[in-house]
Structure 1
Amino acid sequence: MAKPTEVRSPSRYLIWLGLQQLPSLAAGVLFGSLWLLAQALMPLLLGWAIDFGVNAQNWSLLLLSAIGMVFLGAVQAIFAVLRHRIAVSNWLQASFRSVQLIGHKISRTGAALPKAISTGELVNTAASDATRIGQIYDLTARLSGAVLSYALVSILIWQISWGLGVTVLLGVPVCCALLLFIIRPLQARQREQREMAGKMTAVGADTVAGLRVLRGIGGEHIFVSRYRERSQQTRFSGNKVARSVANLEGTQLLVTGGFSVLFTWLGAAMALRGEISTGQLISLYGFSVFLVTPVRILSETVSAAIRGYVGARKTIAVLSTPPAYQDAGQTPAPRQPAVLRDTASGAVIQPGRLTAVVSSVPASSAELAERLGRFDDALLEANPVFWGDLDTRTIGIPDLRSRIVLSEADPQLFSGPLRELLDPEARNSDQRILQILEDASSLDILDGLEEGLDHHVTERGRGFSGGQRQRLALCRALLSDAETLLLVEPTSAVDAHTEARIAAKLPAVRAGKTTLLVTASPLLLGAVDEVLFMIDGKISARGSHRELLQLPDYRAVVIRGE
């Protein structure tokens, strides 16, 4: 069994993520180490060629040194390619795994996630933060090689001169420590820029989602101004990050260049005093140039680690959001259709009947449907819902969802072929789909589409009007053929004539199955078997629509709905 995702802290999440791809990370460490170790040995062979080949006029050793350098060059070329390939693989594995975890979390958390984190923030986390997290694992190969090659070069220099060896052992860490003065402000500014980017994306997502409405009331300029303001704030914070990055790059060049000059000067002075040979001086110069690489890799790694840490913090904020419901139930659902009983409101939904619930406060009746469908366990803590004799929280979510289906007041339409939108599990024939479209008074929608059921639906069904989207969502719910169907305001966006046709067909379509309508429409109420009237969250009366019209409170709600 796979270990659960570690979300206790950003560091723990990054370690857990690395453990999931440990073999490829190990391969990256091996390739990166061999790549840089080959580079580190090149100055040593060059010095030997000068001392033992050219100066000593030993052409055999000179040839061997040349062959050795060619071999090291080939090793560098081969393992540079392998290191790059595995580094990109590590980057993509970590990024896509984070995106996958976020996607699974979104699909399984229910209504809790949108309440805790805005849509724009979710988009930014999946699109931007996941990539930044992946960059950490891209750099592991180079970082390991940098550490090992630094240790090897230090040993080689120590053998030439212990004084220069001490200079390297102390000087490189000092150079890295000096860069921390630039890295600390960079971390704070990157966190600020990430926050601004998330807010800007959230405003953009809200504006796009409500663009049709905004244009209808002429208010798009207000949201455009808000987006422009957020965009400018993000740009300014990005400029601060850019300045910090530029300072880091400049400081890195200054520090490493200064160290290289100092190191070379010390070596040249020793050569003039005759303490080291010409070949050793050339080797020392090569080592000083090479040591710039580990320092650069280390600073790049720290910078990427800061960005990845900020991204990991945002990612675990998403992954640690508690779901609206827990799928811990093990009790099988009732084998036969059974009564649904809500203890909070006192509503009793009889199996096989068409029932409606009317409330003076629409949110109360919509919440009843959420409780019956078990979409938020927080609503069931004090007052559970019973399906037959079973508490619905003891039943597994897959079993519950397969038999109790909820269609919300604002259902979502997904992009793709219309046939897949209406029948996601491909359980119905085209003839059956067309029949349900007719029953839901939706064939006129199909008549306007050249490709018919093969028509490609755009994101959120924006190519359809509000009433068309609602009717298509009703068709989708009816095609599920669920044992229990909960419909929240299924006709609120359609005209009276269309609603009347739907009301006339609905009893036959759902004959023998349990259906609950949350509505105040007299046309629908007149077609149901029983109406439950809710006041202050409690069922106060039940009966037929005609019978309940004798109650002033009920009549006032229904007339207002009409």
Structure 2
Amino acid sequence: MKKPDTRRPRPGAAILRTALRRNLGAMAAGTVLMGLYQAAETAFPIALGLIVEHTMQDRDPGRLAVSVGALAVIITTVSLSWRFGMRVLQKANTTEAHRWRVRVAACGLQPVARDVDLKSGEILTIATEDADQTADIIEVVPLLVSSLVAVVVAAVALGLADLRLGLLVIVGTVAILSVLAVMSRRIGAGTQEQQARVARAGAKVADLIIGLRPLHGFGGNHAAFGSYRRVSTDAKRQAITVARVNGVYAGTALALNAVLAAAVSLTAGWLAFEGRITIGELVMAVGLAQFIMEPLKLFSEMPKYVMIARASAERMALVLNAPPVTPDGGELPEPGGSLEVDGVRHGTLQGVTFTVAAGEFVAIAAYQPRAAAELAAVLAVNVAPGAYGGAVRVGGRELGDLAVEAVRAHLLVNPYDGEIFAGTLRTNIDPSGSGRPVDAAVEASLLTDVVALHREGLDHVVRDRGANLSGGQRQRLSLARALAADTDMLVLHDPTTAVDAVTEQLIARNVAKLRRGRTTLVITSSPALLDAADRVLVLDGGVITAEDTHRNLLADDDAYCRAVAR
């Protein structure tokens, strides 16, 4: 399978340039077709003027018929060029939006440095709305060029009738765009702030959903909802501010365009009254003055859309440029090697040293939960090797020298709060559909009762975040997924805290049996898992203080007995 493109570019302007560069063909075709559409639209009032001219002067039915036929050709050109031009541009737009969504999602799945303050809800907004708005630049440029074509054709046609009319259109267009360009900058800044506030509100909702059950448990849901209401209110106020600015912008553009159209019409009327242009040219001028409002409106809106696309691209750059936790080394871990932790110092860890030999089942009894979480984070490569002291070696090679994706395929760290996805039991256990040993994993994790409870079995639907499963069922489902991965090295962090003692005992035996001959490390306080391990390491005060079998430690170490006995 082709690896996703996870290269990390560029600021917002460079992202827009990339989008434009790789869609040059579609944009060129779209520009030609939309230019043809605008030229044909502009030709319509010109043709009407010529019809009036021939009807009043020549009284020639043949010429009139030709003119009417020309109108039919113009109308057909308008219809077909718009249809196919927009089809080309919208296809390129949606394709480009898809590319950026995939890029942002790929980067969002990689752990990034802690100084990058982006939450999952914000990344979701960036990967959807901002990606779509950035891709809109592909339509903006051709529409801008085609609108310019319409203005130029109208100016030339009016200039042929009278030079003053053509100059009036050109000067008026430049003046309108100059005024609107200044206003569009404010729209861009306001839109960027609005997008940031909406993203923060989305992140707050994601946090609330994750913590909804505990919030209800201690009555904190009202305070949490109040916090979300405040964040959402900030987003609403900013949206109202942006809407106000957008309204002023749209109103100003419409007013200026109307003023220019009126000026062209009045000037043409005065010239006709003076006898300097014919009645046919007057009809053409009035028709063009009315027509030109539409391309001028489109033309005047383009700076606003460019600013919005730029603001969205800058927000995407926050994700795409976020530095990874660790640079991706080029080496691969040796299969079947040992896991070595050598003097690791991080947070509360004060020099942890131990080795899990190939094929060994080792348990760590961590007296402080924070130390257990920090050790799991280091082993999961969620902490950069340069951010902690000491070294972690997989198969004799340090983590910093290994490719991160290869490490994770070789060394799986299953967190105590493993995420459950919307789908089915089967897709949660084997997300990639790679034919992993699902049945053995289900049996080892004692998820068999959940499968047997439902007629669909493993195809039973699981709601988002496992909302239709109990805490113990979610934990066993997460454990089944880790076991089904069948990696060379497996680290389990508190895999049975939500199950009863009898179930825990059976799971411990099953895990030990299923993982026999495979390197396994369990960070736990469960007596059943500690007893199933070949040996137990005691992590206390940030260091390994004791090492023996579970039963020997129970007999000889009172502190251990108090910590793990239930």
TM-score under structure 1 length normalisation: 0.91
Deviates further, 417-426 or 287-296: 417-426
CA distance in 1, matches of 2:370, 2:108: 24
Q: Compared with structure 1, are the counterparts of its residues 440 and 16 closer, same or farther at alpha carbon in structure 2 (3 Å cutoff)?
A: same
Change in Cα spacing, 1:80 to 1:120, as seen in structure 2 (3 Å) is: same
Q: Which amino acid aligns with 2:159?
A: W
Q: Are 1:541 and 2:531 matched, yes or no?
A: no
Give the letter aligned to residue 520 of structure 1. S
Q: For residues 25 and 124 of structure 2, what CA distance do their matches in structure 1 show?
A: 30
**Alignment correspondent of 1:154:** 155
- Code of the aligned partner of 1:479: A
Which residue of structure 1 aligns with residue 517 of structure 2? 512
Structure 1 segment 372-391 matched on structure 2, within 5 A: 372-378=379-385, 382-391=389-398
Q: In structure 2, what is the Cα distance between the partners aligned to 1:439 and 1:294?
A: 68
Greater mean alpha carbon deviation, residues 416-425 or residues 485-494 = 416-425
Structure 1 residue 39: deviation in Å?
A: 1.3
What does residue range 409-558 of structure 1 map to in structure 2 within 5 Å? 409-426=416-433, 433-549=438-554, 550-551=556-557, 553-558=559-564
Offset at residue 444 of structure 1 (A): 2.2
On the 8 A contact 1:32/1:83 being kept in 2, the answer is yes
CA distance in 1, matches of 2:512, 2:488: 14
- Which among 28, 32, 42 is matched to residue 26 of structure 1? 28
Residue 532 of structure 1 aligns with an amino acid whose one-letter code is: L
Offset of 1:10 from its aligned partner? 1.2
Distance 1:98 1:427, change over 3 A: closer
| Aligned twin of 1:17 | 19
CA drift at 1:181: 5.2
State the partner residue of 2:201: 200
Map 1:272-351 → 2, pairs under 5 A: 272-329=273-330, 331-344=331-344, 345-351=352-358
The residue that corresponds to 1:97 in the other structure is: 99
Q: Does structure 2 retain, via aligned residues, the 8 Å contact 1:342–1:372?
A: no
Which deviates the most, 450-459 or 496-505? 496-505
Q: Give per-residue Cα distances to partners, 1:45-102, cap 9 Å, x unaligned.
A: 2222333443133443333322222211111111111122223223312322221111
Assess if the C-alpha contact under 8 Å between 2:269 and 2:282 holds in 1. Answer: yes
Name the counterpart of 2:129: 128
Structure 1 residue 146, shift from structure 2 partner: 0.8
2:544 alignment partner AA: I
- Check the 8 A contact 2:335/2:410 in 1, yes or no: no
Matched residues, percent identical?
26
- 1:84 equivalenced with 2:86 (yes/no): yes
Question: Given that residues 124 and 198 in structure 1 are in contact (C-alpha distance below 8 angstroms), is that contact kept between their aligned partners in structure 2?
Answer: yes
Contact 1:119 1:205 in 2 (8 A): yes
1:556: Cα distance to partner?
4.9
Asked if 1:73 corresponds to 2:75, the answer is: yes
Stretch moving more, 481-490 or 245-254: 245-254
Residues in 2 aligned to 1:433 and 1:166: alpha-carbon distance in whole angstroms:
76
Amino acid at match of 1:289: Q
How many residue pairs match? The answer is 556
Out of 102, 105, 108, the residue aligned to residue 106 of structure 1 is 108
- The answer for the alignment partner of 1:235 in structure 2 is 236
Distance 1:287 1:436, change over 3 A: closer
Q: Within the alignment, does 1:39 sit opposite 2:41 as a pair?
A: yes
Structure 2: give runs of 5+ residues left out of the alignment.
345-351
1:13, 1:312 within 8 Å by CA — same for their partners in 2? yes
RMSD of aligned alpha carbons: 2.6
Paired residues of 2:198 and 2:235 also in contact (CA < 8 A): yes
Per-residue displacement from partner, 1:5-62 (whole Å, max 9, x unpaired)?
A: 6743211111111222222111111111000011122232222233344313344333
Whether the 8 Å contact between 1:413 and 1:469 is mirrored in structure 2 is: yes
Letter in 2 for 1:558: V
For 1:12 and 1:428, how far apart are their aligned partners in 2? 41
Gaps of 5+ in 1: none
Kept in 2, the 8 Å contact 1:428–1:479? The answer is no
Within 1, Cα distance between the matches of 2:115 and 2:427? 25
Q: 1:428, 1:47 → 2: CA distance?
A: 73
